[in-house]
Structure formats: structure tokens, C-alpha cells
């Protein structure tokens, strides 16, 4: 806000717009995430919901999309999607050894699960096999 008897400048108007935008965004975030829901997933990171925000690659070589540790009884959940006219594959390695079949990735959103039966180092690797777009992957342990 400006002082009395002084006209607004572009700078003061911009500051006021930024201030209002911050207030608006903070009120939306509070309304969108009730306290009970926040407590239910406390300690769990929030993952991007839109596939366009997921980690992606356009490499024809294997790239690690997730690298971490799992305990016995964990389930690895993987969601995949590719850009239009693009395909790819993903694979899961446990302690450096590939487990299961390669996961085919196309333009349709897909979900896959892998049960981890021991304490192990896991990695999810992904690559593009055809087309010129990107392959997107989201993975987490439950």
C-alpha cells in the first residue's frame, strides 16, 4: 500500500499484487489439506500427482529413477506413462540383480507393484525404446 497523497507506481502495485497472491495461495493450501489428513500421512513425502511433474527421461540408455533401501514386507509401487507415440521399459533391481520382467511403458497410465521379501538395496531403471518423447515414472515404497 502507498502513502497518503502519493500516486501508486508500478513497483508498489506489483508488491501489492504479490502480497495478495501469497495470501490467496496460503489460504488455498490450508483449505485443501485438513489437519486430520496431514496427521494421517505424517512423515510420508507427498508425490506429484500430475504425470507431467513426474521425473522423466528421453535417454535410450538405462537411467536410475529410484534408488533406495527396502525392508522385508515392503511393496514397491510404480506408476508409468510415456508421451504420445513414445514407448519405453522399466526394470527393478534388488541388490544389483534384475527381478521380474521388464515393464512396458506406453502412453496409457499404468500401475505396477513389486513385493520385496527381504532387506535389500533396490533401484528402478527406465529407458526410452522408441519415439522422440519422454518416459515418466513415479515410484514409492509402502
Question: Which of the two residues, 22 and 33, has the higher pLDDT score?
Answer: 22
For residue 52, with 0-12 CB atoms within 10 Å meaning exposed, 13-18 middle and 19 or more buried, which class applies?
exposed
pLDDT tens-digit map of 50-96 = 888 888 888 889 988 888 888 888 888 899 999 999 999 999 998 88
Beta bridge partners of 136: 56, 81
Question: For the chain, what is the mean pLDDT?
Answer: 80
* Annotated domain spans of the chain: 10-40, 55-141
CATH architecture of the domain covering 55-141: Sandwich (2.60)
Amino acid at each position: 500500500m502507498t502513502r497518503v497523497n502519493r500516486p501508486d507506481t508500478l513497483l508498489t502495485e506489483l508488491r501489492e499484487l504479490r502480497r495478495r497472491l501469497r495470501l490467496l495461495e496460503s489460504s488455498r493450501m490450508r483449505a485443501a489439506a485438513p489437519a486430520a489428513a496431514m496427521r494421517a500421512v505424517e512423515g510420508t513425502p507427498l508425490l506429484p500427482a500430475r504425470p507431467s511433474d513426474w521425473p522423466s527421461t528421453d535417454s535410450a540408455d538405462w537411467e536410475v529413477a529410484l534408488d533406495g533401501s527396502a525392508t522385508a514386507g515392503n511393496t514397491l509401487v510404480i506408476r508409468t506413462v510415456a508421451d504420445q507415440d513414445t514407448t519405453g521399459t522399466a526394470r527393478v533391481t534388488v541388490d544389483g540383480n534384475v527381478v521380474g520382467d521388464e515393464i512396458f511403458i506406453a502412453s496409457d497410465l499404468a500401475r505396477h507393484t513389486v513385493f520385496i521379501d527381504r532387506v535389500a538395496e533396490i533401484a528402478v531403471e527406465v529407458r526410452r525404446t522408441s519415439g522422440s518423447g519422454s518416459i515418466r515414472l513415479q515410484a514409492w515404497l509402502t
